[in-house]
Structure 1
Amino acid sequence: MKIQAALFDMDGLLVDSEPIWREVAIEVFAPLGIALTDEICQAYTGLGTAAFVRSFYEKSPWPGKSTQQVEHEIIELAHERIGSRALAMPGAVEVVRFFHKRRLPLAVASASPMEIIETVLRRLDLLPYFTLWHSAVLEARSKPFPDVYLGAARQLRVAPENCLAFEDSGNGLRSAHAARMLTVAIPAAYEYHDPKFDLADIKISSLIEFNEDIFDNLEKKPSLA
C-alpha cells in the first residue's frame, strides 16, 4: 500500500508530557480524598481527561466539585506546566522531518484539547510541519474509539487505510487500529512487553529507531481496509 499521510499522537509520543499529566492529576485529586499514584495514572494513559475523571468519580464520588470542574482544573494546570516545561521525546523532531521531506501531510490526533496541542507544537518548533491537528474533545468519543483518527484523516482528505499512525499507549493504538490505519507503537519502557502492543504493525522502543527501512517495510504491508 502507499502511505499518503502520517498521523501522530502527542502526549508521550511527540512530547514528554505524560509525567506532567500524572503529576497534575495526583495534585488535583488529593483534596478530593482520592490518592492517586504514578502507577495508577499510567494504567489510564491515552484516555481523555473527561473519561479519566469520570472513571474515578464513578468508583468513589466526591462532594463539592463537579467532574467538569475537576477536568477543567487538570487541563488548565497541565496546560501551564506543559507550556513551560515539556520537552520533545527522543527522535520526535527527526521523524517529523523525515515525513516532511517526503512531502507527506502530517497531523496530530490527540486526546488533549486543541489549545494544548498548539502550545506543544509551538514549544517544540514543529508547528510549520503540520497540516493540521485534531482533538478527540471535538469528537463524540475519545480514544480507544477511532473517531479522532477518522476525523483527522477526513480533514486531510486521505483514506484511513493510507495513513500511518504513531502511538505510545494501548488506548491510542486501539484507536488507530480501529480506524484501519497502519500503526507504529512506541510503548514506554515500563509496558514495552505488554501484549496489548502486539496489535501494532511495528513496535519500536524509541522514535530514534524509525528509519527508511521500516518505512519501506510498512509500505509493503497489505491494507486493513
Structure 2
Amino acid sequence: MTARNILLWSPSAIVFDCDGTLMDTEQHWQEARNITFRLFGLKPPTGFADRAKGVHYSECGALMAEETGKPNLGDDLADTLLTTFTALVDQNPVTMPGAAALVRLTARHLPLAVASNCPREMVESCLHRAGLLSSFSHVVVAGEDIRPKPEPDVYRVAARLCGVPPEEALAVEDSFTGMESARRAGLRVIGIGPRPEAPEAKHADLWVPSLADQELVRWASSWIDA
C-alpha cells in the first residue's frame, strides 16, 4: 500500500511499539549495552547498536556473546543488560515527541494496545510513569507462548485482543525488527524516523519523522471524524 492510499484508510485499532516509539528508551538500551560490555571487559563490535535495535534482551545477550567470541556468557550478559536498563529507565523515563498527545487523541475513539519485546513489568512501569498506561486496553509482550519480534506473535495477539482482524489494525514502529513482525502479522505499518532508501523503505506503508508530524496528526483526526 502506498503512502497516498494509506492516508485514505482508517484503522479500527492501533498497536504501538513501546521502546523508541512511545518511550525514549533506545538511549537507555544503548547505554545499558555499553555498560554491560564494559562490566564484562568486552569491546562493543562495530555497528552493534544498529544490529541490536528492537531485539529482545535475551537474544541481544546472545548476540553480544556471539559477536565478542564469548558464547558461554549469553545468559549472564542478558541478565546484566536487563538489570542495567531497568535502573536507567527508572531514573529517567521520557516519552518520544508527540507520543503522549497522539495516544490521548486516539484512545478516546479506538482500542489501543502495546506490542513489545520488553518484559511486561518494564513496559507497564514506563507507561504508568508517563501517564499513558490507562490509555491502552492491552499490553502484549514476548513470553513463553508468544515469540518475540520479528516473529508476528505480539502483533497478531494484540489485534485479536482489540477485537479486530489484523488487516484492520495499524502498527506504529521505529525498528525494522518490529516492522517485520507487524507486517508478518498482517497489520499496516507506520515507520517512525527518517525514510530509508529502498528496499528498507518498504518495511512501512508510511514514514513520518516523529509522532508529532502534522500530516500524521491530521490523519489521526480524520479517523475520529469518520
Identity of aligned residues (%): 30
SS in 2 for 1:145: coil
**Paired residue for 1:31, among 23, 28, 39?**
39
Post-superposition offset of 1:139: 4.2
Q: Does 1:51 align with 2:59?
A: yes
Q: Distance in 1 between matches of 2:91 and 2:40?
A: 27
Structure 2 residues without counterparts, runs of 5 or longer: 1-8
Q: Please, what TM-score do these two structures have when normalized by structure 1?
A: 0.85
| 1:82 and 1:120 in contact (8 A); partners too | yes
| Cα RMSD, aligned residues only | 2.3
Cα drift, residue 33 of structure 1: 3.8
Name the counterpart of 1:77: 84
Name the residue aligned to 1:148: 154
Q: Which runs of 4+ in 1 moved over 4 A?
A: 214-217
Q: Quote the residue 1:202 is aligned against.
A: 206
Q: Alpha-carbon deviation of 1:123?
A: 1.2
Q: State whether residues 64 and 77 of structure 2, in contact with CA within 8 Å, keep that contact through their aligned partners in structure 1.
A: no
Task: Using the TM superposition, give the Cα deviation of residue 69 of structure 1 relative to its aligned residue in structure 2, in angstroms.
Answer: 2.5
Q: Secondary structure at the match of 1:26?
A: helix
Matches within 5 A, 1:5-20: 5-20=13-28
- How big is the shift at 1:200? 1.1
Report how far residue 35 of structure 1 moved: 1.3
AA partner of residue 95 (structure 1): L
Paired residue secondary structure (1:68): helix
Asked if structure 2 preserves the Cα contact closer than 8 Å seen for 1:139 and 1:148, the reply is no
| Cross-structure match for 1:91 | 98
Q: 1:101 and 2:113 equivalent?
A: no
1:138 is displaced (CA, Å) by 4.3
Which residue does the alignment assign to 1:115? 121
Q: Which is worse superposed, 117-126 or 65-74?
A: 65-74
Equivalent position SS for 1:211: helix
C-alpha separation between the residues in 2 aligned to 1:2 and 1:211?
Answer: 13
Over 3 Å counting, the alpha-carbon distance change for 1:160 and 1:26 in structure 2 is same
Provide the rounded CA distance (Å) in 2 between the counterparts of 1:122 and 1:182: 27
